[in-house]
Structure 1
Amino acid sequence: MSDVRHVLVLPDRDAAEEVARELGERFGVEEEPRLVREALAGEDDAEDAQWLVVLRDEEERLDAAELDAFVQEWDGWREEP
């Protein structure tokens, strides 16, 4: 079993929380994704932060192209590992 992770980058916390909820419904993700706030380099303002949704996919059953299209609905993107 490999340690495959997907990192979805979202513009704000609301979008990240909604994506985390939708992952279960749309993709059948059972494990709760982890939400992580990431300040942009050199920025101290809380407004200038991105939110990451990190989910494990050890069985490699999530399709990268489908995740790309999914996260774009919230103006986000999937980081390549």
Structure 2
Amino acid sequence: MTDVRHILVLPERDAAEEVAEELRDRCGLAEEPPVVREALAGEDDAEDAQWLVVLEGPAAHGLDPAELDALTAVHDGWRERD
């Protein structure tokens, strides 16, 4: 089985936390995926941070990338593509 990893990028912490909670409920995950703060390259301003929801390992298998794209788009975010 290959490693699967989805990184969802959102502009605000509240949006990232909402997406993580919705993914837990919608996908039947045991716990919410982690929300991580990531500063934009070259930016020193804390307001220029992105918030990431990281899905990897068994929790990431079987998730539909199109559904993840749609979910993040509702919150003005996107899914990183390899």
Superposition TM-score tier, normalisation by shorter sequence: 0.7 to 0.9
Quote the sequence identity (%): 69
Worse-superposed segment, 24-33 or 11-20: 24-33
The separation in 1 between residues aligned to 2:26 and 2:71, in whole angstroms, is 9
Task: Compare 25-34 and 59-68 and name the one that shifted more.
Answer: 25-34
Give me the TM-score of the superposition, normalised by structure 1. Answer: 0.87
Once residues 37 and 25 of structure 1 are traced to their aligned partners in structure 2, the CA distance between those partners, rounded to angstroms, is 22
Give RMSD over aligned pairs: 1.6
Query: Offset at 1:34?
Result: 1.6
Is structure 2 residue 3 aligned with structure 1 residue 3?
yes
2:81: which partner in 1?
A: 80
What do the CA deviations read for 1:50-69 (whole angstroms, capped 9, x no partner)? 00000125372100011101
* 3-state SS in 2 of match to 1:47: helix
Deviation at 1:38, TM superposition (A): 0.9
Is the 1:33–1:53 contact (alpha carbons within 8 Å) kept by the matching residues of 2? yes
Q: 1:24-77, CA deviations, whole angstroms, 9 ceiling, x for partnerless residues?
A: 112223343121111111111110010000012537210001110111111110
- In the superposition, the TM-score normalised over structure 2's length comes to 0.87
- Where structure 2 has 5 or more consecutive residues not aligned to the other structure, the ranges are none
The ranges of structure 1 where at least 4 consecutive aligned residues each deviate by more than 3 angstroms after the TM superposition are none
Cα pair 1:6 1:57 within 8 Å, conserved: no
